Amino acid sequence: MDTTVATVKAEPAWVAGQPLAPSLLRRACDEAALGFTTTDDLPDLPGLVGQERAIEAVRFGTAMRRKGFNVFAFGPTGTGKHTLVESVLEAQAASEETPPDWCYVNNFDDPHRPRALKMPTGRAVPLRDAMQRLVNELRVALPAAFEREDYRARREIIDDQFKHRNEEAFGALQHKAEAKGVALIRTPMGLGLAPMHNGEVIPPDVFQRMASEERNRITADIQALQAELEATVRRIPEWEREHRDAVRKLNRDTSAGVVTHLLGDVRTTFADIPEIATYLQEVEHDILEHADDFLGSNRDGQGLGMAEARIDEETAFRRYHVNVIVDNSGHSGAPIIYEDHPTLQNLLGRIEHMARFGALFTDFNLIVPGALHRANGGYLVLDAQRLLSANFGWDALKRVLRAEEIRTISLEQLLSFASTVSLDPQPIPLSVKVVLVGPPLLYYLLSSLDPDFPELFKVAAEFDDRTDRTAEAVDLYARFIATSARREKMRPIDRAGVARIIEETARISGDAGKLSAQLRGIVDLMQEADFLAGKAARTVIGRAEIEAALAAQRRRADRIYQRIQEEIGRNTLRIETDGEAIGQVNGLSVITVGGTSFGQPSRISAQVRFGKGELIDIEREVALGGPIHSKGVMILSGFLGGRFGRNGPLSLTASLVFEQSYNGVEGDSASAAELFALLSALSETPIRQYYAVTGSIDQHGRIQAIGGVNEKIEGFFDVCRARGLTGRQGVIIPSANVQHLMLRPDVAAAAAEGHFRIIPIETVDQGLEILMGVAAGETDGSGLYPEGTLNRRVSARLELFAKRALPPPERAAAKRRSERSGGRDG
């Protein structure tokens, strides 16, 4: 396999004011220098092209284990931020230890505050399963233990003892009462005493007819016996408590043998974890205290239906479950978690509820982990825009990063809206590296407006939108194309197709010497070309498929552009491409709609008249001109004053306007065209309308670079081609923009055939000579311009305005001086 690095040819020389050679209009990628046949011959590229600075920052941020050294990766859309962050984190995480497991268990002392248990990696799930098996076995083994004969016999002894004590106490009282002629009887209201004769209770009326001495004796005996009865009855609760204690001790002793035996296996399995030993002691104590829960749903569920009793029973057993929050048994190395919807609940977890008997119920089993739980001990990647737009996600993240612990809290509790009792789980210590991914503007806004941001995100990983177009970069880009084709399961791309993609990346970057790092659009282009190759039953993607995909993309996005071109062709929008006109020039601007940019020619006109030195920007006067455009017009005033107003004030009023402009104008790229129109109006010299101009100027008349030069040239070219190319038409651009030219192949081809011209200029005077066909002229030692030059015409016109501004006596004296000097005073 040949992996020869592609070579980059040197650019040919060019001269300002002269048409550029066709090879300078589009810097082609030399196919012969690409050392492969198809992308199948190239190895994978492990990273991205031209992002060394960002890679270094992400690696530093992930390796730095100090508080606050989290990473914010920012850059233009489509530069592969997520892909690069993911690849760097995977390499870093693979070499790190797998973090421990975490689970929540019941706090038997305070069920509303569940306990968090830290477990060695892979041990939480076995603990959960072991506790589930323990509960299932206890539900079988405990009832069986209570059904054994020895338990029944001991229980009968206890019950008989309680029964015998009752019978003995009440029997003695009854014998004593009978000896005194009093009967112990049971009534609906309880035990009572009544007089008795010959074994029969004496009716009240008979008792009242008895002798008073006898009645008084019987009444006294009943009162004495009543006191003894009441004393005996008062002792019944104590005897019952002793009975219950005896039964409870019997049940505990019976349960202890079963529970200790069954818990022995769990203790042995987790003997190396002290926290589990403590937890199992608590579990054992609670099971022994609530052994009745395992003996059937009807023991404590009288009055409940079958379903309700079963639910009540299952709820009782839930306190012995283990809620595994984090299970890292399937991970190798540190976890990498990406949370797509980073709300407070999705980051910190949530506490769910379930309905029980018409009410909401919750316990530690209903604690659901969040992204921070899963990423604990590893890395959490978040989209910054989604984080800031999610419900309280940003505040929640800052709070846990400062506290270095995860405290699960509901949104209602956070806002103090909750009035019901909920859970307060024990916080889990947090050790995580957070990587935010977002646009540059968001990074700068957070840096300036949020005082917590610089403390928590100390590492900025800035992604570039382009890289130098060196031979090494071209080679790396070819490997990226090969890697993407394999990853996306596309057909291989031949070297002609790769060369065409690289040319398109240079065009996207807006600079022939750069390659775009916005890779998403390139992968989309490759996928579309692969689709077209499939329709044509081709096994390899070539230049033709890439060109067809590019044409299809332009076709889908150029409705507005074609509409503008149509209106120009119908003269609804007036743009001249031939002839000459005074005070009128073709300017060029760029319109961006939905991510698509295209050039639009605009007719710029100027009018001058005698006045008070005012330069009126009509766009600004009607609030259609932006501040940068207004700045450009004010620079024109500075240039005019510096060149033509050194000996006195400029006595003119001039107005500039973008004709048929209704949507506002911004930028200074038309300031050169506006100056040419103004000087044409002042000198009364026509401008050749088959030229269009773009460029900004400074106060010294130097032409400065502008943006969107390729789209601007192509916009005027399409107008000229629709009307017929004459060979004279062309665009005048700043010399500094020559290095940026990556024109469409059809524009470069028309220039190669002599049908269209691109002319760079460095000064205003060079542009004047090209546009008006008249020498601009330079001042001599006395500050005068030569006769017949454009600058002389302008200065003469301004001199005329200045004379008109003088009072009549001074105007006559100036006329005489001019006549004596041969009309060269000025």
Q: What is the pLDDT of residue 632?
A: 80
Band the pLDDT of 731: cuts 50, 70, 90. Answer: very high
Task: Decide if 175 is inside a domain.
Answer: yes
Task: Decide if 313 is inside a domain.
Answer: no
Share of the chain above pLDDT 90, in %: 52
Rounded Cα distance between 391 and 341, Å, is 10
Instruction: Confirm if 434 and 70 have CB atoms less than 8 A apart.
Output: yes
Dihedral angle over CA of 200, 204, 208, 214, nearest 10: 40
Last residue within a domain, chosen from 234, 253, 268: 268
- Kindly provide the residue ranges of all beta strands, DSSP E only, lying in 100-207, ordered along the sequence: 101-105, 115-119, 182-187, 190-197, 200-201
Q: What is the pLDDT of residue 206?
A: 67
Q: Are strands 596-610 and 584-593 parallel, antiparallel or unpaired?
A: antiparallel
Could you tell me the two tokens for 441? Answer: 């503007």
3 has pLDDT over 60: no
- Between 67-71, 213-217, 721-725, 736-740, the lowest mean confidence (pLDDT) is in 213-217
Domain extent at residue 541: 22-50+464-557
Q: What is the pLDDT of residue 594?
A: 79
* Residue 712 bears catalytic tag: yes
Which pTM does this prediction carry?
Answer: 0.79
216 has pLDDT over 80: no
815 has pLDDT over 80: no
CA distances from 254 to 248, 250, 287, 299 (A): 10, 6, 12, 17
Task: Decide if 60 is inside a domain.
Answer: yes
User: Which residues are CB-neighbours of 149 under 8 A, at least 6 positions away?
Assistant: none
Q: Is 338 helix (H, G, I), strand (E, B) or coil?
A: strand
Rounded Cα distance between 528 and 542, Å, is 12
Residues forming a β-bridge with 193: 184
CATH number for the domain harbouring residue 784: 3.30.230.10
Q: What is the pLDDT of residue 260?
A: 87
302 has pLDDT over 70: no
Same domain, yes or no: 145 and 229:
yes
* Residue whose tokens read 């992930």: 62
Task: Decide if 386 is inside a domain.
Answer: yes
Q: What is the pLDDT of residue 303?
A: 44
Rounded Cα distance between 575 and 721, Å, is 13
Rounded Cα distance between 595 and 157, Å, is 91
Same domain, yes or no: 58 and 45:
no
Task: Decide if 511 is inside a domain.
Answer: yes
> Among residues 589, 669, 696, 795, which one is catalytic?
669
3-state DSSP of 566-597: HHHHCCCCCCCCCCEECCEEEEEEEEEECCEE
For the segment 9-21, the average pLDDT, to the nearest whole number, is 79
Could you tell me the two tokens for 580? Answer: 């000459």
User: Which residues are CB-neighbours of 357 under 8 A, at least 6 positions away?
Assistant: 308, 311
Share of the chain above pLDDT 70, in %: 86
Same domain, yes or no: 604 and 709:
yes
Rounded Cα distance between 120 and 106, Å, is 19
Same domain, yes or no: 72 and 216:
no
* Nearest of 691, 670, 707 to residue 759 by alpha carbon: 691
Rounded Cα distance between 710 and 503, Å, is 13
CATH number for the domain harbouring residue 393: 3.40.50.300
233 has pLDDT over 80: no
- Residues 261-272: tens digit of each pLDDT: 888 889 999 999
Task: Decide if 316 is inside a domain.
Answer: no
- One-letter amino acid at 214 equals E
Task: Decide if 772 is inside a domain.
Answer: yes
37 has pLDDT over 90: yes
Instruction: Confirm if 134 and 320 have CB atoms less than 8 A apart.
Output: yes
Instruction: Confirm if 19 and 757 have CB atoms less than 8 A apart.
Output: yes
The number of distinct structural domains making up the chain is 4
Same domain, yes or no: 82 and 169:
no
Task: Decide if 549 is inside a domain.
Answer: yes
- Residues 356-375: tens digit of each pLDDT: 777 788 889 999 999 999 99
Higher pLDDT, 212 or 497: 497
Last residue within a domain, chosen from 228, 250, 268: 268
Report the phi/psi class of residue 333: left, alpha or beta, with left for phi > 0 and alpha for psi in -120 to 50. left
Q: What is the pLDDT of residue 427?
A: 94
- Residues 519-535: tens digit of each pLDDT: 888 999 999 999 999 99
Band the pLDDT of 452: cuts 50, 70, 90. Answer: very high
> Among residues 81, 433, 712, 803, which one is catalytic?
712
- Residues 61-105: tens digit of each pLDDT: 999 989 999 999 998 888 888 888 998 999 899 999 999 999 999
3-state DSSP of 498-551: HHHHHHHHHHHHCCCCEEECCHHHHHHHHHHHHHHHHHCCCCCECHHHHHHHHH
For the segment 679-686, the average pLDDT, to the nearest whole number, is 93
* Residue 605 bears catalytic tag: no
